[in-house]
Chains A and B, each alone.
Chain A
Amino acid sequence: MIWLLASILVPALCALLCLATSDRPQLNRRIAVAGAAMLLACSIKLFVDVLDQDFVSFQSGSWEAPFGITLIADLFSASMVLITGVVALAVAIYSLKDIEDSLVNSHYFALFHLLITGVNGAFITGDLFNMYVWFEVMLLASFVLITLGGGKSQLEGGVKYLIINLVSSILFLCGVGLLYAKLGTLNMADIAVRLAASEDAFLINSSAMFLLAAFGVKAALFPFFFWLPASYHTPRVAISALFAGLLTKVGIYALIRAYTLLFQSQFEAVQGILIFLAGATMVTGVLGAAAQYEIRKILSFHIVSQIGYMLMGLAIGSALAVAGAIFYTLHHIIVKTNLFLLGGVIMRRCGTADLKSIGGLYRWAPGFTLLFFIPAFSLGGIPPLSGFWAKFSVIKAGLDDGHYLLVTVALLVGVLTLYSMTKIWAEAFWKSAPNEKKPSPLGSGGWSLLAPCIALAVLTVAIGLWSAPLFGFAEAASAQLLDPQAYINEVLKLENIQQIANND
């Protein structure tokens, strides 16, 4: 139980320490990396505990559920907290060289750890309004991070990000309010129990749609994603990588939690909408990526497109599909963060992010080329890398359930994803630079840029080659999600109530 609380207390305390030492950059950086390493250790311990016991839960203030706020980690949440720890450590090490002293003085690492606190809080909470609060913590830290540096493009991107995410917070609040009005509770397990018992679907579906819109904005689904390509390429590379890896996945986590736990009894009503949104997200994302010529803009549109695959897993709704969605989320966080970090290294070595004016990296930096090859083609779905297993499981689940149109769309989008990824490959690595310029070396401290990329690439290869244990875990997590009775019993302590009733 202490490890459950540690996943939010460790980054919060680290944020306070970093806030206090912001004017001493060297000390600040060491505290930040040490905090991230400690968070990773606590997340690993929490994950091992949840593998043993199936759930780890905690009632805040010892108020009984459903009156108090529950913090609960099931298999899916624990794996997301673990991956957050991995990504946080990788980006913290990358930030050692990437973030200059003036930004460290502007509290970069404190905001970094506040963001991680919000993300972990959203993953482990069992109360819907508490999730709103953690979303706001995460959102406010991200607002400041995205405008850190104060340049014109950062401010422009920041404004677009800010306004659309504020509207999504307001929609979330309305959805929560309407759900409370109908059901009288905010505890997610209790909502699931009361919804299953309730016959009247009319008012429930309106709040479900509010929540779909709110989480859709966060997760960058089809009609809501336009803030992402407008803003993700503007801040510093480390900040971009952190956002790309984590923020949209919190939205997908919330969607999976909402539609497998809360609205499970209404799932058939919304399945058609989810299938349409998954297909539309995939297509619009990849067409956007195919049109761009700047590294981070291509990668930003790819995030949208891959989110479509994760939503496809949720929309199909079978055990294999949800397992595929979970596996896809875990694999994609690692690959996406790695791609953004590597994109940053390309920008540093070649001086610009514009693909038309760089080149020759295959000739001058073959090791780096191999390092880029691994996450790039994992995203494209080339076996034996992790992306292949993820795409395969989602597509097979679609074929098993007869969603042939969606599967066709997914396969075509896969081809286009490969096209846009090979565009980066061909422009930046294979073709020689326009005026035969050699890429400049990384300079001192370059290890801090490359070490996290190498570590994440090794993880991607490991997941690809030994995917059976991880996929077995994803299937266990999916079984736990699709049958929420164990979750409900754990939160509401139903066996205890039954026992007391029997003893009376």
Chain B
Amino acid sequence: MDTLIAILIGTLFAAGVFCILRRNLMKLIIGIMLLSQAANLLVFTTGGLTKDKPTFAISETKLPPAGYADPLPQALVLTAIVIGFGLVVFTISLLLKAYRAVGSDDINAFNETDRIS
């Protein structure tokens, strides 16, 4: 299971970086989304991939079961998902406005600010 998740995170990172480097604006947005999912999954896995061990106290021992799933990375990932979704919403609206202003969905057309004047 650990190996599978590691390969999945790696694949998501690879796909995200590949999409970010494309010329199309839409693929750029998809690349950002894939990268943020990969990062969130990476932080989530640090909590331990155990089954059936929630962080609730069992009545016998008054403690959580041994090897319980760590709730802190889950909280971190929640924060990161929310921040990420807000940023993606802003990105999409900004790229839409930029597409209308520049007139092309090719990122290489955004070169007016790069000129040595």
For the residues of A in contact with B, the DSSP-based class is helix
Stretch at the interface among A102-110, A291-299, A319-327: A291-299
Complex contacts, A129 vs chain B, CB 8 Å: 76, 79
Please determine whether B98 and A155 come into contact, CB atoms closer than 8 angstroms: yes
Residue-wise, chain B 28-43 has the 8 Å CB interface mask toward A (1 for contact) of 1000100110111011
Please determine whether A159 and B36 come into contact, CB atoms closer than 8 angstroms: no
Instruction: Tell me, in angstroms, the Cα distance from A140 to B91 when the chains sit together.
Output: 10
Residue-wise, chain B 17-55 has the 8 Å CB interface mask toward A (1 for contact) of 000100000001000100110111011011000000000
State the Cβ distance, A106 to closest chain B Cβ, in Å.
Answer: 13
Whether B80 sits at the interface, judged by CB under 8 Å, is yes
Question: Which parts of A285-340 form the interface with B (CB within 8 Å)?
Answer: 291-294, 297
State the Cβ distance, B98 to closest chain A Cβ, in Å.
Answer: 4
Complex contacts, B60 vs chain A, CB 8 Å: none
For the residues of B in contact with A, the DSSP-based class is helix
A156 in complex: contacting residue of B38, B43, B90, B102, CB < 8 Å: B102
- With CB as the reference atom, state the residue of chain A lying closest to B40: A173
Complex contacts, A169 vs chain B, CB 8 Å: 83, 87
Residue-wise, chain A 138-149 has the 8 Å CB interface mask toward B (1 for contact) of 001001100100
Please determine whether A163 and B32 come into contact, CB atoms closer than 8 angstroms: yes
State the Cβ distance, B45 to closest chain A Cβ, in Å.
Answer: 8
Please determine whether B90 and A174 come into contact, CB atoms closer than 8 angstroms: no
- With CB as the reference atom, state the residue of chain A lying closest to B79: A133
State the Cβ distance, A356 to closest chain B Cβ, in Å.
Answer: 9
With A143-B90, A173-B39, A180-B73 known as contacts, the answer to whether A155 contacts B46 (CB < 8 A) is no
Complex contacts, B20 vs chain A, CB 8 Å: 163, 167
Please determine whether A136 and B83 come into contact, CB atoms closer than 8 angstroms: yes
B43 in complex: contacting residue of A144, A157, A163, A173, CB < 8 Å: A173
Please determine whether B94 and A159 come into contact, CB atoms closer than 8 angstroms: yes
How many of chain B's residues have a CB under 8 angstroms from any CB in A? Answer: 35
Instruction: Tell me, in angstroms, the Cα distance from A147 to B96 when the chains sit together.
Output: 13
Instruction: Tell me, in angstroms, the Cα distance from A180 to B40 when the chains sit together.
Output: 13
Instruction: Tell me, in angstroms, the Cα distance from A297 to B113 when the chains sit together.
Output: 10
Whether A162 sits at the interface, judged by CB under 8 Å, is yes
Please determine whether B113 and A163 come into contact, CB atoms closer than 8 angstroms: no
Complex contacts, A162 vs chain B, CB 8 Å: 90-91, 94
Please determine whether A177 and B43 come into contact, CB atoms closer than 8 angstroms: yes
State the Cβ distance, B42 to closest chain A Cβ, in Å.
Answer: 5
A140 in complex: contacting residue of B28, B42, B87, B113, CB < 8 Å: B87
Nearest 10 interchain pairs by C-beta = A177-B43, A181-B46, A155-B98, A294-B117, A152-B101, A170-B39, A173-B39, A156-B110, A155-B101, A136-B83
Binding site for A on B (CB under 8 A): 20, 28, 32, 35-36, 38-40, 42-43, 45-46, 72-73, 76, 79-80, 83, 86-87, 90-91, 94-95, 97-98, 101-102, 107, 110, 112-114, 116-117
Task: List, sorted by A's number, 30 A–B pairs whose CB atoms are closer than 8 Å.
Answer: A129-B76, A133-B83, A136-B83, A140-B87, A143-B87, A147-B97, A150-B101, A152-B112, A155-B94, A155-B98, A156-B113, A158-B94, A158-B98, A159-B110, A160-B113, A163-B91, A167-B32, A170-B35, A170-B36, A173-B39, A173-B80, A177-B39, A181-B46, A186-B72, A233-B113, A234-B113, A292-B116, A294-B117, A297-B116, A297-B117
